[in-house]
Amino acid sequence: MELTGAQIVIECLKEQGVDTVFGFPGGAILNVYDELYKHRDEITHYLTSHEQGASHAADGYARATGKVGVCFATSGPGATNMVTGIATAYMDSIPVVMITCNVGLNLLGKDSFQEIDILGITMPVTKYNFIVKDVTKLADVIRRAFRIAQTGRPGPVVIDITKNVTATKTEYTYKKPEPILPDASVINEIDVEKAVTMIAHSKRPFVFVGGGVTLANASEELRRFVKKIDAPVADSLMGKGAFDGTSDAYVGMLGMHGTKAANYGLNQSDLIIVVGSRFSDRVIGNPKTFGNKAQILQIDVDASEINKNIVVTHCIAGDAKLVLRKLSAQLNQMEHNEWMQYINELKTRYPLTYPKDRLTGPQIVETIYEMTHGDAVICTEVGQHQMWAAQFYKYDAPRKFISSGGLGTMGYGLGASIGAKVACPEKTVINIAGDGCFRMNFNELLTASKYNIPIIEVIFNNSVLGMVRQWQTLFYERRYSSTILDGDFDYARIAEACGCRGMNVTNKEELTEALKEALSADGPVVINCFIDCDDKVWPMVAPGASISEAFSEEDMIRK
């Protein structure tokens, strides 16, 4: 049948099983929105307050479900407003398809009104991007985009469509998407056999888990593998929940704000098995000293990540789910009682602690954990609150922690929490934010209010840019340049003005009552928690130092 380009966009989305889109309309994409209106019973559109909020919502939707998130924007500033969201998804390998429309083909290259080369702008931060100037190619491009976003190492794909294409007709035929399965053919069996030998000879194996395990839906395979080799497990920020954070084998997060047990334990291992992690600088500290007493085995679906930041002893390129299955099948049951006892002693000797005499970030997170029984989707912005959420909430399953890791995008969490709640309406979704981040994105409270999306926003209000201030205190001789948030703003009243319930709390008792009310509310709630401006995230590794040099406040006092 003959359809316009705009109709083809909608039909192709339906082919892919898309029932939710986040976006903001404009002139160039108007034909698509007009067609979307006619299919509003099949595809629900959420109008965000800003295109960046739409991109983060699509990202949060994807992280919460494993499905492709979709968002729309118009040409020019509409498209450029999504660039931060595209880069956020790219750095964390999140499958998102972002559809923009550009000016008509006859106006391209003429500095026309709201014309922008969005392909040129996004090329460094997309897995792939397209511009469609011929309507006969549109359907195939959309199908390719969804497949590219999901195969191998996932990532964002941008499709830019000229406006004339959305109005032009061509023949369209429905095409059922082919199932996307991990590619077993790329896994080298000789590499697997060598890895099995390395693991079998190891006396002190240590497993480090990244976000690739979640992306590969390999958590169950990881659990069986860890049980088989009897090893401790640490995770990265993106790896939260990929391995059960309540397990006795779990030692905490690794890296700059990781636990001492994780950082010290890795330093004493003889084999570090890295699954689905790219060795971020915030994880490894000084690359010259990272794991220098051990052999390193890296498992990653993206061969370009192997030997990029850390030169490893051996590697297996392939999907984590398939590789872990193969390894487990070829390994005998192992026991490392002495090694595991040593790790448990580290955990006992170096627990995460915080002051109990006042309301603090860790206390807020632990209270949220207690009141949600560990069964919530926790989104975060970026900063101290993000680290506390990673340290003090126990994530027992994947897709329960949603945060910007690679790009570190302040303003990410609120949009992401909206996307996560839309994707998982049956789950409690809480966004943990700093007051600096809240200032960047509270306009999206209008989105939550408009659609009555019952998210809970918990603000850690210390009247400063907390993480930057922490660095200024420790490394810049307390020169607090532009990190104090002047002004007596009542964020609870701002929330009320946006149509949400707003509450201020100053102690644990007030927090408990506020959370109790928020958890039973049928609309969005903002809880503004006042904490001290000089509370810090501990432990910490100084920039460029070895992770074995992690220090706490007590260590500084002793010096």
Task: Determine the residue type at 515.
Answer: L
pLDDT at residue number 559: 64
pLDDT at residue number 409: 98
- Count of CB atoms situated within 10 Å of the CB of 499: 14
- Count of CB atoms situated within 10 Å of the CB of 551: 17
Contact 546, 286 (CB under 8 A): yes
CA gap 459, 511 in Å, rounded: 11
Instruction: Find the catalytic residue in 163, 326, 421, 536.
Output: 163
Q: Is 203 a catalytic residue?
A: no
Kindly give the parts of the chain with pLDDT less than 50: none
pLDDT at residue number 557: 82
CA within 13 Å, CB half, 61: 24
Q: Is 114 a catalytic residue?
A: yes
Using the CB atoms, write b or e for 137-172: b if 16+ within 10 Å: ebbebbbebbbbbbbbbbbbbbbbbbbbbbebebeb
Closest CA to 461 of 496, 432, 501: 432
- The dihedrals phi and psi of 506, each to the nearest 5 degrees, come to -125, -10
Contact 244, 198 (CB under 8 A): no
Residue located via tokens 């511009």: 131
Alpha helix ranges (H) inside 216-350:
219-229, 260-268, 281-284, 320-330, 337-349
Task: Determine the residue type at 328.
Answer: S
Q: Is 442 a catalytic residue?
A: no
The superfamily in CATH containing domain 361-537 is Thiamin diphosphate (ThDP)-binding fold, Pyr/PP domains (3.40.50.970)
Distance of CA 243 to the CA centre of its chain: 16
- Count of CB atoms situated within 10 Å of the CB of 27: 15
User: Can you give the three-state secondary structure of 455-485, one letter per residue?
Assistant: CEEEEEECCECHHHHHHHHHHCCCCCCCCEC
Helix-helix angle 51-65:413-423, to 10 degrees: 50
Contact 546, 289 (CB under 8 A): yes
> Could you tell me the residue ranges of all domains in the chain?
2-171, 184-349, 361-537
Contact 9, 132 (CB under 8 A): no
Contact 371, 516 (CB under 8 A): yes
Say if pTM beats, i.e. exceeds, 0.85. yes
pLDDT at residue number 558: 75
At a CB cut-off of 8 Å and minimum separation 6, what does 334 contact?
199, 200, 228, 229, 230
Q: Is 334 a catalytic residue?
A: no
Contact 236, 401 (CB under 8 A): no
Which token pair is 535? 């509370």
Q: Which residues pair with 45 in a beta bridge?
A: 21
pLDDT at residue number 357: 93
- CATH code of the region 2-171: 3.40.50.970
CATH topology of domain 184-349: Rossmann fold (3.40.50)
pLDDT at residue number 488: 81
Rg value, the chain, Cα? 24
CA gap 518, 81 in Å, rounded: 32
| 426 exposure class (CB count in 10 Å sphere: 0-12, 13-18, 19+) | exposed
pLDDT in tens, 278-330: 999 999 999 999 999 999 999 999 999 999 999 999 999 999 999 999 999 99
Q: Is 113 a catalytic residue?
A: yes
Instruction: Find the catalytic residue in 42, 113, 171, 293.
Output: 113
At a CB cut-off of 8 Å and minimum separation 6, what does 197 contact?
none
pLDDT in tens, 69-106: 999 999 999 999 999 999 999 999 999 999 999 999 99
Instruction: Find the catalytic residue in 11, 35, 51, 457.
Output: 51
Same fold, 2-171 and 184-349: yes
Closest CA to 94 of 438, 416, 388, 319: 416
Instruction: Find the catalytic residue in 114, 137, 394, 549.
Output: 114
Instruction: Find the catalytic residue in 253, 440, 467, 503.
Output: 467
pLDDT at residue number 445: 98
- Count of CB atoms situated within 10 Å of the CB of 407: 18
CA gap 447, 320 in Å, rounded: 37
Residue located via tokens 């006795």: 248
